[in-house]
A = this chain, B = another copy of it.
Amino acid sequence: MNTKAIILFGHGARDARWREPFDRLVVLWRAQHPNVRVELAFLELMQPSLEEAISSLTGTGDNEVVVVPVFFGQGGHLRNDFPVLLSACQEKFPEVKLSTTPAVGEDSAVLQAIIDFGASAL
């Protein structure tokens, strides 16, 4: 059976509190999409790594994983580091179909929500 899961992939930071919105995203996802498993993964400074997150999902049967970069801009991290990392993960998990989306900052609804948040502060 094909089952698809999602990984929300963030940069990571030294301060543990940085991940709070990411933890909130997981809570929201599980409430709204209970049939699609979700894991967080971080490029650096936080756990789990992308490889660990994929391993955790595939270990329980998911064989298709969509990685969503929770980044605003597409700079060096997403253009250079991320493809290399993803490709290494694909080699380690040949039985899993990995795919990705653009960064969430490319999405017009995300940008509109930011605009509305700013406007609400005026």
Contacts and interface: CB of A to CB of B under 8 A. Distances in A.
B21 A118 contact: no
Q: How large is the interface on A (under 10, 10 to 19, 20 to 34, 35 or more residues)?
A: 35 or more
Contacts of A99: 121
Contacts of A74: 15, 17-18, 20
Contacts of A14: 75-76
A119 B33 CA distance: 8
Interface of A: 4, 6, 8, 10, 13-15, 17-22, 24-25, 28-29, 32-33, 36, 66, 68, 70, 72-77, 79, 99, 101, 103-107, 109-119, 121-122
A18 B79 CA distance: 10
